[in-house]
Amino acid sequence: MALGAILTCFSSCTKDDPGNQEEEIIIDSEILDSGYDSDVTAVTDETNGTTTLSYTAWIEVSQTTAKTRSGNGGERIEVTIVDTLRNVEFLTSVPSLNIDLSQPTLDTSSYYVGVTPKHKYVNAIDSVMCVTVRYGEGYNFTYELPFQSPAYADGVKSFDMPYLGYENFQHKESKLSDVTYSLVKDNNDKDIVVASAVLTNSITLTFNDKDYVLSARITLNNILGDVDNSIINSELLEKGISVLESTDYYIDYASWIRVKQTMYNGSTQEKKYTLKMHASTEKHTMLSPVRIPDVDIKRERVDLFYDVTDEGSWSNVEKYLYQTTARINHVVTYNHFDVTTEFLYDDGYYFDSMSEKIRFPILEYSNFSDKFKCVFENSNTEAGTTYNNYWFTHTANADIGNITHDGTTAFGATVAEF
């Protein structure tokens, strides 16, 4: 939406003076020039680090009123635009303090807030620039930076005036403090362990060719639980796989890990966790018949598409245990059609919210191969055209563990003789 389209022209005509009313009515206008001054006044509040940036935006416009019936030769309208750089500081609860600071990314977006009148014919559109710092799937937060953009509107013509904007956002530094522990009372007056760490961050941006630094200080609290059952560290001791059932197209197995858990109260314990895992392909898939120009079928290429498992696709199947199903699409491109075979396998990990994630051992597909055959079945004639019917069979294979899974796709193929 154009900024000028949401403006309202504010008139100050007096009701008891028809002459003034006629003089104020604009029947035509022409934008002669517009711009902004390069001098920016920056004022920083030392108590919170907020910096106010102000500068002058201007527009020259020739207006024709109902009374004069001619342009006024050009009037220069100047308004003050105010933008604000704000640091971030707050306290929040998080499900984990295990945040990967190695590769943060910055995303930017903006949203509309409202309108501030600056002049009879110029309003400032109030918006907020959002700069979101993302640490993978572990955590993110946002800097919110108010800014204004001027727009002219006289009832006849509207115009979005140029203005200065925030540019060149760059991550500078991120640090996470050592974890500290404290006890708080729950609603039943019982001691609950809270793990805390302070995340500090800084980013840079450019405004009017000058660099500015913004900083964030965020206290992260992770509620662990009661004193005797709060894990502060887990260490993998051993792991293994036990096959439960296996065929030429699916396998069920138990994946297990044994971990040493260190508790908040100083005690340690060893515990074994098990996930039931499954991997499979579709043994027989029947597709609808297709028409092809000939039976000179050629295999052109093969592609493997791995379905990425993001954080939202993992299910918390048991305390500390997470599981998902991953997908590999084996796609063979022939000269007349494509055939896709889907291979599914489970994946899982252990996570106590304080330690690194511990992956369960899994069986994965590898060494993919495929073959096909096309067999003539019969012919039929319709409306003077002979149709030769074939049966096409495609088989995709993949190794998993010490076995091979086969997925077969079959369909009819018809060739017309003209």
Pair (211, 77) in one structural domain:
yes
Residue 390 to residue 242: CA distance in whole angstroms: 44
Residue 78 to residue 56: CA distance in whole angstroms: 6
Give the DSSP H/E element, type plus range, for residue 116: strand 105-117
**Is residue 267 domain-resident?**
no
What is the reported pLDDT for 307?
A: 84
Pair (35, 158) in one structural domain:
yes
pLDDT tens digits for range 378-398: 999 988 899 999 999 999 999
State which amino acid sits at residue 139: Y
Pair (173, 52) in one structural domain:
yes
pLDDT tens digits for range 178-219: 999 999 999 999 999 999 999 999 999 999 999 999 999 999
**Stated length of the chain:** 418
Last residue of a domain, one of 226, 244, 268: 226
Pair (89, 14) in one structural domain:
yes
Residue 137 pLDDT level (bands cut at 50, 70, 90): confident
**Is residue 263 domain-resident?**
no
**Is residue 393 domain-resident?**
yes
Pair (331, 401) in one structural domain:
yes
Residue 292 to residue 301: CA distance in whole angstroms: 19
Cα–Cα distances (Å) from 349 to 91, 236, 409, in that order, read 29, 12, 33
For residue 391, what are the domain limits?
283-417
Give the mean model confidence (pLDDT) for residues 280-290: 94
Pair (204, 299) in one structural domain:
no
**Is residue 240 domain-resident?**
no
Residue with structure tokens 């306290």? 91
**Is residue 249 domain-resident?**
no
Q: Does the model's pTM come out above 0.85?
A: no
Pair (189, 315) in one structural domain:
no
**Is residue 53 domain-resident?**
yes
What is the reported pLDDT for 15?
A: 44
Token readout for 327 is 């997908």
Give the mean model confidence (pLDDT) for residues 244-257: 97
Q: Is the pLDDT of residue 301 over 90?
A: yes
Q: Is the pLDDT of residue 20 over 90?
A: no
Give the mean model confidence (pLDDT) for residues 32-37: 95
Average pLDDT taken over every residue of the chain: 91
Q: Is the CB of residue 155 less than 8 Å from the CB of residue 46?
A: no
Q: Is the pLDDT of residue 310 over 80?
A: no
What is the reported pLDDT for 26?
A: 86
pLDDT tens digits for range 311-370: 558 899 999 999 999 999 999 999 999 999 999 999 999 999 999 999 999 999 999 999
Q: Is the CB of residue 302 less than 8 Å from the CB of residue 332?
A: yes
Pair (26, 161) in one structural domain:
yes
Pair (219, 287) in one structural domain:
no
What is the reported pLDDT for 68?
A: 67
Residue 360 to residue 278: CA distance in whole angstroms: 13
Pair (36, 184) in one structural domain:
yes
**Is residue 241 domain-resident?**
no
Pair (166, 298) in one structural domain:
no
Residue with structure tokens 């990425």? 308
Number of structural domains found in the chain? 2
Give the DSSP H/E element, type plus range, for residue 22: helix 18-24
Pair (12, 100) in one structural domain:
yes
**Is residue 15 domain-resident?**
yes
